[in-house]
Amino acid sequence: MDMPTPPDQPGTNADCRKVNAIFGRLGDKWTILAITMLSGQPRRFNELKRLIGGISQQMLTRTLRSLERDGMVTRQVFPTVPPQVEYGLTERGQSLAIPLMQLSMWVLGHISDIEAHQALYDREAKQQRK
Amino acid sequence: MDMPTPPDQPGTNADCRKVNAIFGRLGDKWTILAITMLSGQPRRFNELKRLIGGISQQMLTRTLRSLERDGMVTRQVFPTVPPQVEYGLTERGQSLAIPLMQLSMWVLGHISDIEAHQALYDREAKQQRK
DNA sequence: CTGTATCCTAGGGGATACTG
DNA sequence: CAGTATCCCCTAGGATACAG
């Protein structure tokens, strides 16, 4: 019984919020790459690391943990002598991969146009201020 | 003729990189919300601000500038006495909105499952360590 | 091989005040 | 009303060292 009006901001539709939270995940530096590399076949930790390329051990661990927490990825440990851990997409992870790939395709199809537009924009901006 | 092997990291497919870069944009705190609010009809600055809710003036400006730079959004200034600026989606912006909405639908359809899985995961993790 | 613990930095993002 | 300029904080993410 405290807040008169702003308990929930105007257009802050709860749905939009949630969607955005997940997009934040997907948009982080490695998540999409990881999902992509896992679609099709399960992969071992270092195999993933090589495939992704440029990711630090720690970030790969973090990324995979988050995905595991979301139920997107399974983690199976084989207690062999040098321990092996295999990661794979869950059903949910695979179903996510579908709209994800569609969006990826859109980006790939438009990326050169976008980059051209950025270059143009930057050129105009530079001229304006000097 | 310099670099023997690592000029481009292993799996660092250039395509994946580019897709990821755009996803970083989409995943930032406000971009998706802004695109969503602009789909359907153009909006004025403060109108957008109200609709989105919780966004600072500066972040709205930055977000819109980025979208403009990418050619997703148009900006039209009406030199009225209190200046008015209207933002709208370009054709490219509208075409992006399509796969974006599909992904949003996926998230909305799975968000409760995901949250449940997270809660479960957190509970198990907590028990394990204490 | 896989994972955790530290430490550190760059930049995203908020608040506020000021301008045309 | 729309936008810029400052200042400041917090956290994503890298490097490194260590452990099972």
What confidence tens digit (pLDDT) does each residue in B51-101 have? 998 899 999 999 999 999 999 999 999 989 889 999 999 999 999 999 999
Residues 30-59 of B with CB under 8 A from A: 32-33, 36-37, 50-54
Report chain B residues whose CB lies below 8 A from the CB of A50: 10-11
Residue A107 to residue B51, Cβ atoms within 8 A: no
- Between CA B124 and CA A126 the distance in angstroms is 55
Residue A98 lies in a domain: yes
Bases of chain D with protein Cβ within 7 A: 1-6, 12-17, 20
Find the helix or strand (DSSP H, E) in which B129 lies.
helix B91-129
Residue B2 lies in a domain: no
CATH, residue B115: 1.10.10.10
Domain count, chain A: 1
**Rounded mean pLDDT, A46-61:** 93
Residue B6 lies in a domain: no
Residue A23 lies in a domain: yes
Which of the four pLDDT bands, split at 50, 70 and 90, describes residue A38? very high
**Cβ B20 to strand D below 7 Å:** no
Q: Where is average pLDDT lowest: A2-16, A54-68, B42-56? A: A2-16
| pLDDT surpassing 90 at residue A99 | yes
Residue A81 lies in a domain: yes
List residues bridging with B85 in a β-sheet. Answer: B77
Collapsing DSSP to helix, strand or coil, B28 comes out as coil
Which residue of B107, B110, B117, B126 is the best one to mutate when testing the A interface, meaning the one whose CB has the most A CBs within 10 A? Answer: B107
Using a 7 A cutoff on CB, list residues near strand C: A 44-47, 49, 57-58, 61, 64-65, 75, 77, 82-85; B 28-30, 54-59, 82-83
Q: For chain A, what percent of residues have pLDDT higher than 70?
A: 86
Quick one: pLDDT at residue B27? Answer: 85
Of B9, B32, B98, nearest to A23 by CB-CB distance is B32
Collapsing DSSP to helix, strand or coil, A41 comes out as coil
- The alpha-helical segments, DSSP class H, found in A1-130 are 14-26, 31-38, 45-52, 57-69, 91-129
**Rounded mean pLDDT, B112-126:** 89
Quick one: pLDDT at residue A81? Answer: 86
Which of the four pLDDT bands, split at 50, 70 and 90, describes residue A19? confident
The CA–C1' separation of B29 and C13, in angstroms, is 9
Closest-CA residue of B relative to A8 is: B53
Find the helix or strand (DSSP H, E) in which A130 lies.
none
Residue A2 lies in a domain: no
Quick one: pLDDT at residue B129? Answer: 53
Distance (Å) from the C-alpha of residue A81 to the closest C-alpha of chain B?
Answer: 24
Report chain A residues whose CB lies below 8 A from the CB of B96: 106, 110
Residue A120 lies in a domain: yes
Residue A69 lies in a domain: yes
Neighbours of A66 (CB within 10 A): 17
> Which domain covers residue B30, as residue numbers?
14-129
Q: For chain A, what percent of residues have pLDDT higher than 90?
A: 62
- B92-115 in b/e form (b: 16+ CB < 10 A) is bbeebbebbebbbebbeebeeebe
